[in-house]
Structure 1
Amino acid sequence: MRVLAALAASSLLLGACATPIEPGPGGPPTGGNGNDCAVIAAIAREHYRFNTTDNRPPPIRFDGDYAPRCDWSRLGLAFQPWNPDASGDPRERERWVSFGRPVYDGRGAVVETSIMHGPWAGVGHECRVISGFAGWTVPEGSCRETWVS
């Protein structure tokens, strides 16, 4: 009986660690296995060090036809969508952060990501993200540089 109670308690703890995804302003979340928003948020917070106060992120864009709808504020971020046709300084349109579709495996997920700070000033990375008791995290040194401009 104690074993059954311990199993039930541990499954409740593991379930509590999962990061549920709630619909954002655009409707229900899309893409991946339901963890895409949490995986991307982990990279944004831990690799890029974005937050809602002193290191606000540039506009967000996604690769190809991949476009998950996420409630970024619930995940502690303040992303705005990238608009390539925005008026104003054209150099501002060259500021963005992008994320590819996460690829999941037995060790977590891998995501292609890049950031542009302006024309000809950017860097791309491939980041490994793992899931654990604290949710999705980016272990130290798990993002490798893939390109620089």
Structure 2
Amino acid sequence: MKGSFFCVDNYIGLRYNNITDSDISDGDLAVEVFILPESSERGALTEAVFYILLSLYTPMHGYGIMQNVSRLSGGRVNLGAGTLYGALNTLLEKSWIHALQTDKDSRKKEYVITPLGQTAAQAEMERLKELLENARQIIGGQLQ
């Protein structure tokens, strides 16, 4: 049995694989536990990446993502094809999104956010909430 599980809310991940070493009986699992970096160490998401992740809560193909990002941002963020597909490849490498199986005849590939990507989007939302609250305290305090 091969696979992985990530409990990213507390930044702990778990990967497991069958052990094939002759010293250990079949069916025993090897467990690797690792700590994922805190949100501040990962850095802020770019606005474009954040909107791409938000868009992919619903499966979409590239052109649909470009349209949805523009709509969500009120037209402020307009992605070119090169920028979009570069970001999609990075998100695929991070396992934040997944490419869905499509018909062999279809040239359009659909993407959807993964649980790990949802956690990254939620962490960014929390970071932005904190940023906004800090600004409200400082700027709001000066305006009163």
Length-normalised TM-score, structure 1: 0.24
Which has the higher relative contact order, 1 or 2, with Cα contacts under 8 A spaced 6 or more apart? Answer: 1
Q: Which has the larger radius of gyration?
A: 2
